Structure 1
Amino acid sequence: MNMSKKANLTGWLFIMLAVVMIAAFYFYPMIQALLLSFKTGTGVNMKFTGFDNYTRLFTDATFLTAVKNTFIYLIIQVPVMLILGLFISVLLNDSKLKFKGFFRTAIFLPAVTSLVAYSVVFKYLFAADGLVNMALMKLHLVAEPIQWITDPFWAKVTIILAITWRWTGYNMIFYLSSLQNIDNSIYEAARIDGASPMRQFFGITIPLLKPIILFTSITSTIGTLQLFDEIVNITKGGPGNATLSISQYIYNLSFKYSADFGYAATVSYSIVIMIIVLSIIQFKAAGDKNG
C-alpha cells in the first residue's frame, strides 16, 4: 500500500465514527420522519395514505394559526434583532469606548442563559402583578396592569421581547468579530475624502458585512421558525392559541392530543420547506450567485 492510500485510509478511520454517528442520529431519523409523514394511524397500525397529511395542512385551522403566529414573530422580531445587534456592535467597536469588555459580556450573557430559566423569569416579570407592571404604574405610564400573558396582542409582544433580549447579543458577536477584521485604513481614507459617519456606515460597513448579515438572517429565520421553549414556558401557546408556534403544535400533536405522529411529521416537514424557500429568497435578495 503506497503512502497516499495509507494516508487516505488513516483519514477515513479518524472521521468514520463521526460519519456513523451523524448518519445514525441525524440522517436516518430525517428519512424515517419523511416516510412517516406519508402515513396515518397509531402505533403499529399505521398505513400509507400518500399526500393526505399534506393536503390536510391547508384545511387545518390550528396549523394555519400557528403559521400566522410564527410569521408574525419572524417578520417583526428578526429585523429588529439584527438591526439592534448591528447597531450595538458598531458602538462597541469604537476604540474610544471604555469598559468595552464589560459591555460585550453583559450584552452577550443572555445568549448563554438556560432557555427554560430565562423564559420562567420573563413569565414572572410580565405577570399582571409582576415587576414590569409595577414599574410602569409607579412611573404613571399606565393606569392599570397590562395583561402581558393573557391578552392575545400583549402575549405576542412578550414573546417578541423575550427572544429579542436573548438573541440580540448572540448576533452582535458575529458582527463585532467581522467589524474587527475590517482594515481601519478604509475608514481613514473615507474620512479624508469627507465621508460622514453615516455615509461610512452604509457605504463601507454594510457592504463588507453583507456575508455575515446574510448568515445571521438565515440562522435567525431558522431559529424563529423552530421557536418552542419561550412559547411553552411563558404563555403555553395561549390565550386561545394566540401565541401558538409551529413547533409547539408539533409537540401537541405528538404528546398532548391523541398521538398523531404521521401528521406531526408532516407539520415538521412544512418547517423544512419554509426554511428552504425563505433561505433561497434571502440568498436571492442578497444577490448571492450561489443561492
Structure 2
Amino acid sequence: MTNATTRRRRSSIGHPRYVPYLFLAPMILLFATFKLYPYASALWLSLTANIGGQTTFVGMQNYVRLLADPLFYKALGNTAIILIVQVPIMLALAVLLAVAFNSLLLKTRTLFRALYFVPIVMGLVAYGILFRALLNTQDGFVNYLLGLVGVDPIPWLGDPFWARIAIVIAMTWHYTGQSAIIYLAQLQSIPGELYEAASVDGANARRRFWHVTLPGLRPALALTVILSTIGTLQLFDEPYVLTNGGPNNATLTVGMYLYQNGFQYFDFGYASAIGYALTIIIAVISLIQLRFFKEKP
C-alpha cells in the first residue's frame, strides 16, 4: 500500500461528515447494549420455552397460548377499565388546575403549583404503601373520616369494585399535578390577544375556554393522553402494592400478569410473549390517538 493511498484513507475517515458519528458513537453503543439487545433477547425468549430444564425453541406456541388464556384477557380487561376511568378524570382535573394556576385571581400561585407537583416526586412504592394505610378497612384514616359523618367502613382493598376505585384514586392523586404543570406551560404560550379578541366579540368565560383555551392546549393534550395511556397500560406498582392483584384477580393488570409469569413461575418465554403483545397493543392505541390529535389542514 502506497503512502498516497494511506493518506487518502486517513483523510476520508477524518472528513467532517464523519465527525458527528464519532460523537454519537458512545450513545449508539449504549442504546444498542441496553435497549436493542434486551428487545432482541426478549423477542427470542418469546419464541422459546423451558422444557426439561432446557430452553427449547417452540416458535409461536407462546402466542397461541396467549390468545387462549382467559387470565390474560381478565388482566387486559382490568387494565382497560382503569384506563377508561382514571385517565379522563385525571386529565380533566389537570386542565382545571392548570387554568386555575394560570389565573391572575389566584394568590400565591407558585405555592399551589409546588404543592400539586410534589406527589409526582414521591416514589411509586412509597405512595402505594401510604394509600394502603389510608384505605385500610379496619383502621384506615379515610374510613375514620367517613365514620365521623355516619358512613359505614368501605372495604377499599377487599372488594373488587372498591379495589379498582382505590387504584384510580391513588393514581389520580399521584399524576394529576404532573399533567397540570404540562398544561400550564402550554397555557402560557397562548397569545393573550386571542382572549382579548374573543372578549371583544362578546365571548364569555365559558366560550373563551372552549374556543381559545382548549384548542391552544391541543399539543399538550395529545402528549398527556398518549403518555397517560401508555403508563396505564403498563400499570404495575399501584396494584402490586395496594392489592397484589386481588381480590379474586379484580385488579390484576397485564404488567402484573407478566411479572407473575416471569418472576414467580419463571416462565420467561410466556412472559416475553405477554410483553410483546402489550407492546403491539400500546403501539396500535398510540397510533390511533396520534391520528385523532393530528392537526387538520
After TM superposition, the score normalised by the length of structure 1 is: 0.94
Shift, 1:43, TM fit: 8.8
Return 5+ residue gaps in structure 1 as ranges: none
Q: 1:216 to 1:139 in 2, by over 3 A?
A: same
Residue 114 of structure 2 corresponds to 105
1:134 alignment partner, one of 115, 124, 144: 144
Residue 196 of structure 1 corresponds to 204
Cα deviation per residue 1:101-159 (whole Å; 9 max; x = unaligned)? 0100011111111111110000000001200000001112x1x2111011111010000
Q: Is the 8 A contact 1:228 1:247 kept in 2?
A: yes
Q: For residues 144-163 of structure 1, what are the structure 2 equivalents within 5 Å?
A: 144-163=152-171
Residue 242 of structure 1 corresponds to 250
Residue 213 of structure 2 corresponds to 205
Shift, 1:14, TM fit: 2.2
Please tell me whether residue 261 in structure 1 is matched to residue 271 in structure 2: no
Question: In 1, Cα distance between the equivalents of 2:30 and 2:131?
Answer: 37
Q: Is the 8 A contact 1:42 1:260 kept in 2?
A: no
What value does the CA root-mean-square deviation take over the aligned residues? Answer: 1.9
Q: For residues 1-291 of structure 1, what are the structure 2 equivalents within 5 Å?
A: 6-41=15-50, 45-128=54-137, 129-140=139-150, 142=151, 144-257=152-265, 259-288=266-295
Question: In 2, Cα distance between the equivalents of 1:22 and 1:43?
Answer: 35
Cα deviation per residue 1:46-95 (whole Å; 9 max; x = unaligned)? 22222211121122121111101000111100111111111110111012
Question: In 1, Cα distance between the equivalents of 2:118 and 2:26?
Answer: 34
Return 5+ residue gaps in structure 2 as ranges: 1-9
Letter in 2 for 1:117: A
Shift, 1:8, TM fit: 3.7
Question: In 1, Cα distance between the equivalents of 2:119 and 2:52?
Answer: 41
Shift, 1:44, TM fit: 6.6
Q: Matched residue pairs, number?
A: 287
Shift, 1:10, TM fit: 3.5
Shift, 1:7, TM fit: 3.9
Q: 1:260 to 1:4 in 2, by over 3 A?
A: closer
Q: 1:2 to 1:187 in 2, by over 3 A?
A: farther
